[in-house]
């Protein structure tokens, strides 16, 4: 029994020694690998700095390159009679009788038809789409068909062969059924992916129309600036809300919803102190009026804090005004240099 016990002990010791040798062998291999990597990566100080500089430059170039590209989602696809590019009209106004439709992608919204609510109040829409059939290498100069072979810069044409192949068409809206938009003036290939849809608003999209919708006190007038979506003002220069859009038929009237036609402009006044400050600092009074006449306050401020003091920065100056929501007026009470705002007391007592 004694010998058997000693033999068992010896076997256990041998087993432990083998485990230790195995562990030491593994550690030796790891140390050898580390030494090998250090030898392979060894560089003198000058070489190391040069390599770090090159790495930083490469990272910077990759970062700059990444900012040159964006990813857009297709919101839907267009169906037209044009199966191939051949004979597709070059402009939507050339084909006012050709019908098409846009089927919205259900993957963009759970209820895509909700995104079209209110669009039927417009008569025309802008359709932005991808020229997905154009695989030709883009060139800086192209030869439009109507120039008989003469070449001009690609950005002075409507050529589909562009660095960013985006198409833009103004089409007449016929009807909307669920998540499908039916229109006239199709000039796209069947299956064209749609990037965006926007309503046509003559107030914004018709060049050369001058609006004088800024009511000013003391016969001070100003041309209206473009306002945010949902705050468009006067369309009287267009003959209320209808005008004729050539190219889609002589009787095609442009229709917009009443909330665009309605006038939300405020009367802008300046008290004596603001008048003198504007004159002293040589500030363009019309710019301030343009900002205020369209009421730059958010809906929250207009409803929660009506007829309150409102301050905003305009370049190097800070403008303080007082809204009178009952009378649809706003009075500029003080204009100061932004750097001096903390040093000068605010005086809003005088409004004349």
Q: Please write the tens of the pLDDT for every residue from 56-96.
A: 665 555 555 555 788 899 999 999 988 887 667 778 887 78
Could you tell me the fold of the domain covering 217-340? YaeB-like fold (3.30.2310)
Report the distance separating Cα 255 and Cα 257, nearest Å. Answer: 7
Domain boundaries, the chain: 2-66, 76-200, 217-340
Report the distance separating Cα 184 and Cα 162, nearest Å. Answer: 25
- Give the model confidence (pLDDT) of 103-120 as tens digits: 999 888 889 999 999 999
Report the distance separating Cα 131 and Cα 145, nearest Å. Answer: 18
Count CB neighbours of 251 within 10 A.
6
How much is the pTM?
0.57
Count CB neighbours of 145 within 10 A.
8
**pLDDT confidence bin for 194, thresholds 50/70/90:** very high
For domain 76-200, which architecture applies?
Answer: Beta Barrel (2.40)
Structure tokens at 53: 């500089």
As a whole-number percent, the residues of the chain with pLDDT over 90 amount to 28
CA distances from 149 to 144, 146, 335 (A): 7, 8, 58
- Give the model confidence (pLDDT) of 235-293 as tens digits: 333 333 444 444 454 446 777 777 666 667 889 999 999 999 999 998 888 888 877 88
In this structure, what are the phi and psi dihedrals at residue 99, rounded to the nearest 5 degrees?
-95, 155
């Amino acid at each position: 029994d004694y010998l058997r016990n000693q033999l068992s002990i010896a076997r256990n010791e041998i087993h432990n020694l083998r485990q230790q040798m195995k562990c030491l062998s593994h550690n030796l291999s790891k140390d050898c690998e580390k030494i090998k990597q250090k030898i392979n990566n060894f560089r003198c100080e000058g070489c190391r700095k040069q390599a770090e500089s090159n790495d930083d430059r490469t990272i910077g170039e990759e970062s700059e390159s990444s900012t040159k590209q964006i990813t857009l989602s297709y919101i839907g696809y267009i169906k037209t009679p044009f199966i191939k590019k051949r004979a597709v009209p070059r402009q939507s106004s050339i084909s006012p009788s050709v019908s098409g439709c846009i089927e919205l992608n259900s993957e963009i919204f759970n209820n895509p038809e909700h995104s079209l609510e209110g669009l039927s109040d417009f008569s025309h829409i802008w359709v932005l789409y991808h020229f997905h059939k154009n695989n030709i290498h883009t060139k800086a100069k192209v030869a439009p068909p109507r120039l008989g072979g003469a070449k001009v810069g690609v950005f002075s044409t409507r050529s589909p062969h562009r660095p960013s192949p985006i198409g833009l068409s103004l089409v007449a809206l016929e009807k909307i059924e669920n998540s499908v938009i039916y229109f006239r003036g199709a000039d796209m290939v069947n299956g064209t992916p749609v990037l965006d849809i926007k309503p046509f608003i003559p107030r914004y999209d018709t060049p050369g129309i001058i609006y004088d919708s800024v009511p000013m006190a003391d016969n001070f007038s100003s041309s209206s600036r473009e306002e945010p979506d949902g705050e468009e003002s006067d369309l009287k220069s267009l003959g209320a809300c209808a005008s004729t859009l050539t190219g889609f038929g002589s009787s095609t009237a442009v229709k917009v919803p009443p909330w665009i036609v309605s006038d939300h402009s405020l009367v802008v006044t300046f008290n004596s102190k603001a008048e003198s400050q504007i004159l002293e600092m040589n500030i363009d009074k019309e710019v301030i009026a343009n900002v205020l006449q369209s009421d730059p306050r958010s809906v929250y401020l207009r409803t929660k804090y009506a007829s309150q003091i409102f301050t905003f920065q305009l370049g190097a100056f800070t403008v303080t005004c007082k809204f009178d929501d009952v009378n649809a007026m706003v009075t500029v009470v003080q204009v100061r240099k932004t750097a001096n705002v903390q040093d000068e007391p605010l005086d809003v007592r005088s409004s004349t």
